[in-house]
């Protein structure tokens, strides 16, 4: 097993070209394929999750292995059912075979899809026979993963009757649904909220067009974390390729980190144009942080780690989807932060709470390494803690799932990494 020993720099000053947005890249690829486009979008993410979609769409093998890419599993499942590319089995890692997909399969079956389970009922792998689907009215719970909802929405324009999708109960991760609708409209689709819980997609085909993909606000969150944790009062990070007014849900990171002492400055705020964002310390931080992450669950690990290292008590809610991510992120956070002396409380598998008390040992250099559980965001969220303490991380290359050049980038920022 590879383990990185990481030490943070005394001075934090660097410029970083962030990776392209994984969320936008993966949606763009599916929409492009449905539009019949022949030129790929510009500045596609080079992460593992995007690469498996590219390979699947280019080669269309009989068995499509999307590895650990949850987005790819959901998006490709819907895509394969609604297109006439023959019969395929879609599968992934052992963890993927235990991530539920029944809600999506049931919804697609109600639209006429030909899907069967190759193993355990309700879980991948799936056998799919593609065909034209009629479409029509569909009702699904609003508290399921937004990736299920986005997968259904993106095939809407190619359904013979379009799609009227009603979401019941509480709707979580709404910004990701809005991102999908916005991108669909960018490619000529008619897709709109017609009421607080209903989305209408008409059977109007996509139109292929040149498309540039902005940098990833989720990746930016780890650099915000470094600035917040750095003991350099003049810390300054410049992040290239982000957009003001981004439709990415995780762009909310700039507002939440303003509560933890990080100031965000845009070089320019031209709509739809990438720019350089400079992060500095503001010198002001809240004494306690409470936040509902229902619309941005992928940021939870970043803020849990940041608050612990800063000694800021917190109560975070809206975390119900963390149990079914790449790992059970609630349990993983509790287990790994306990190694560093932080005892986190979870409530009903959807909240995390900390009273601000820690039990640090005197010599933290020999603490047990942080395990990553095949979850990229565990490695990415824990690495910035090196700004406050030496940190060891097992299986660090898991970051290739979303941010392949992360370790190169932090070494560019003068972090020291030893194996």
Measured CA to CA, the distance from residue 229 to residue 148 in angstroms comes to 35
Measured CA to CA, the distance from residue 15 to residue 404 in angstroms comes to 17
Residue 120: count of CB within 10 angstroms of its CB: 10
Measured CA to CA, the distance from residue 374 to residue 393 in angstroms comes to 12
Measured CA to CA, the distance from residue 140 to residue 75 in angstroms comes to 16
Whole-angstrom Cα Rg for the chain:
21
Measured CA to CA, the distance from residue 1 to residue 72 in angstroms comes to 27
Measured CA to CA, the distance from residue 119 to residue 124 in angstroms comes to 7
Q: How many CA atoms lie within 13 A of 259 on its CB side?
A: 16
Based on the residue annotation, tell me whether 298 is a catalytic residue of this protein: yes
Report the DSSP beta bridge partners of residue 123. Answer: none
Contact partners, residue 195, CB within 8 Å, separation at least 6: none
Write down the catalytic residue from 216, 298, 371, 375: 298
DSSP run (H or E) holding 107: helix 102-110
Eight-class DSSP state of 133:
-
Catalytic residue numbers read: 298
């Amino acid at each position: 097993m590879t383990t990185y020993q990481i030490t943070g720099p005394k001075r934090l000053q660097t410029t970083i070209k962030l990776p392209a947005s994984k969320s936008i890249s993966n949606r763009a690829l599916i929409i492009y394929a449905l539009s019949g486009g022949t030129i790929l979008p510009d500045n596609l993410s080079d992460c593992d999750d995007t690469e498996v979609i590219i390979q699947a769409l280019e080669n269309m093998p009989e068995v499509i292995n999307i590895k650990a890419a949850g987005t790819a599993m959901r998006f490709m499942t819907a895509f394969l059912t609604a297109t006439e590319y023959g019969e395929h089995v879609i599968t992934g890692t052992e963890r993927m075979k235990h991530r539920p997909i029944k809600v999506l399969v049931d919804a697609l079956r109600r639209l006429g899809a030909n899907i069967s389970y190759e193993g355990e009922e309700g879980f991948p792998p799936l056998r799919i026979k593609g065909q034209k689907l009629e479409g029509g009215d569909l009702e699904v719970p609003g508290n399921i993963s937004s990736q299920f909802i986005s997968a259904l929405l993106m095939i809407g324009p190619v359904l013979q009757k379009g799609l009227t999708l009603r979401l019941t109960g509480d709707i979580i991760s709404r910004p990701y649904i809005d991102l999908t609708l916005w991108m669909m409209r960018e490619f000529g689709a008619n897709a709109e909220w017609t009421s607080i819980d209903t989305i209408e997609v008409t059977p109007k085909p996509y139109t292929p067009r040149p498309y540039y993909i902005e940098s990833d606000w989720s990746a930016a969150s780890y650099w915000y974390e470094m600035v917040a944790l750095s003991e350099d009062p003049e810390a300054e990070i410049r992040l290239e390729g982000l957009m003001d007014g981004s439709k990415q849900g995780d762009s909310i990171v700039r507002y939440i980190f303003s509560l933890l002492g990080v100031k965000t400055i845009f070089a320019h705020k031209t709509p739809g144009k990438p720019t350089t964002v400079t992060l500095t310390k503001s010198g002001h931080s809240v004494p306690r942080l409470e936040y509902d992450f229902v619309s941005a669950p992928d940021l939870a690990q970043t803020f849990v780690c940041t608050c612990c290292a800063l000694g800021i008590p917190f109560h975070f809610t809206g975390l119900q989807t963390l149990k079914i991510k790449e790992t059970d992120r609630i349990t993983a956070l509790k287990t790994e932060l306990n190694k560093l002396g932080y005892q986190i409380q979870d409530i009903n598998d959807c909240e995390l709470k900390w009273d601000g008390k820690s039990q640090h040992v005197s010599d933290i250099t020999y603490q047990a390494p942080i395990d990553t559980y095949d979850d990229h965001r565990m490695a990415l969220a824990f690495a910035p803690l090196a700004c406050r303490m030496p940190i060891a991380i097992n299986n660090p290359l898991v970051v290739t799932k979303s941010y392949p050049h992360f370790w190169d980038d932090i070494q560019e920022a003068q972090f020291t990494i030893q194996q």
